[in-house]
Amino acid sequence: MAKQTFAGIDIGGTKTAVVLSSEPPQIQVRLAFLTRPEKGPELAIRLIVENLTKALSSLGRNRTNLAAIGISCGSPLDSARGHIQSPPNLPTWKDVPICQILESQFGVPCYLENDANAGALAELHFGAARGAKNFVFLTMGTGLGAGLILNGELHHGASYAAGEIGHVRLTRCGPRGHGKAGSAEGWASGGGMAQVAAMYVNSAVARGEDTALIRAENRGISQITARDVAEAARAGDAVAMAVVKRVGEKLGEAMSILIDVINPECIAVGGLALRFKEDLLQPARKVVYREALRSSADSCRIVSAGLGEQIGDVAALCVALNGLRRFKDY
């Protein structure tokens, strides 16, 4: 008898991935396609169904072998009802009952979590936080969000909105993120890093200093991205390196709040931390040791995500496993 198979669907604003696994976290099949949010949700949902059917067929299996479907997607969403509610990268997805749609198509349970919660489950069971009881996963991509594991369980909060550390204000003014100037997301995210870079480049230009951040491809200051900062910093550009350090320090301020409130054993960071590594995390640790309670800081490891670039795929699978409470089997 064939083993039961779990499906994971990682829905992003640019691409959507459909993965299958009978022995998580190993991925047996992965199919991806452009999400194209400007077309609305109908096209993407049709492609999800087609690709999941195709993936099952490629393993010589059918829908009767499927145990559950897990979906990871950016917030806001309603995990309890399984609805996606117009995330910033999917503005046309207005209250889409994605779980109901897929359950009717495949006849198995379907579960939905935001990408931070899904990442927390993945890192807890298969990544950097294995064995932890209290753990925080930070997305640190275009935005900044946190998945919270408290006493070994995923914490949703009263309205399923727990973990929105990006909305916390760190300064009275400054880069904007999560709809708020000076927010943690404004300072410590991919979009935030671009804004910080623009601030630093403007200051450098005013001082008559040169920087690779405005030499590359003759870009304007407003077009600088986190990727540009990474490339310039690797090349030793002083302005870019200062930007990374500043973003790391602000990340440390956000971490200090989480550490004082939650007292986790580990904080793992995805997204930018996989690209910048210790250049980002070391300044964050220094701020944590300055700002957080010493006993709490001493008890908390701060690391980049152990699953690396694979985290999105594994995270979606973990949503299915968590829904069925099947982690103990793997």
Domain for residue 68, yes or no? yes
Give the 3-state secondary structure of residue 213. helix
Q: What was the pLDDT predicted at 216?
A: 54
Q: Which two tokens stand for residue 293?
A: 């309670």
Angle of CA points 116, 108, 104, to nearest 5°: 100
Instruction: Record the tokens describing residue 303, joined without a space.
Output: 């690391």
In this structure, is residue 311 part of a structural domain? no
Sheet strands (E) in the chain: 5-11, 15-21, 29-34, 66-73, 77-78, 83-84, 110-114, 135-138, 146-150, 153-154, 176-177, 180-181, 266-269, 301-304
Alpha-carbon distances, residue 193 vs 115, 121, 177, 280 (angstroms): 20, 26, 11, 11
Is 143 found in the same domain as 101?
no
Residues 226 and 88 in one domain: no
- Euclidean distance between CA atoms 83 and 76, whole angstroms: 9
* Whole-structure pTM value: 0.94
In a domain, 252, yes or no: yes
Residue 63 sits in a domain whose CATH number is 3.30.420.40
Q: Same domain, yes or no, for 302 and 320?
A: no
Would you give per-residue pLDDT tens digits along the chain (330 residues)?
457 899 999 999 899 999 999 999 999 999 999 999 999 999 999 999 999 999 999 988 777 789 999 999 999 999 999 999 999 889 999 999 999 999 999 999 999 999 999 999 999 999 999 999 999 999 999 899 999 999 999 999 998 899 999 999 999 999 999 889 999 999 999 999 999 999 999 999 899 888 988 865 556 788 899 999 999 999 999 999 999 999 999 999 999 999 999 999 999 999 999 999 999 999 999 999 999 999 999 999 999 999 998 999 999 999 999 999 888 777
Are residue 133 and residue 97 in the same domain, yes or no?
Answer: no
pLDDT at 326: 83
* pLDDT of res. 60: 83
Please compute Rg for the chain using Cα positions.
20
Q: Clarify whether residues 151 and 289 are in a common domain.
A: yes
Give residue 85's domain range. 5-114+316-324
Query: Do residues 36 and 168 both lie within one domain?
Result: no
In-domain check, residue 103: yes
**Domain assignment present for 28:** yes
Beta bridge partners of 21: 6
Tell me, yes or no, whether 301 and 320 share the same domain.
Answer: no
How confident is the model at residue 2, as a pLDDT? Answer: 56
The verdict on residue 119 lying in a domain is no
Q: Are both 169 and 89 inside the same structural domain?
A: no
Same domain, 263 and 171: yes
For residue 117, give both structure tokens: 């919660």
**Same domain assignment for residues 218 and 294:** yes
Closest CA to 321 of 128, 102, 117: 117
Domains in the chain, number = 2
Domain contains 92: yes
Same domain, 246 and 133: yes
197 is a domain residue: yes
> Do 102 and 181 sit in the same domain of this protein?
no
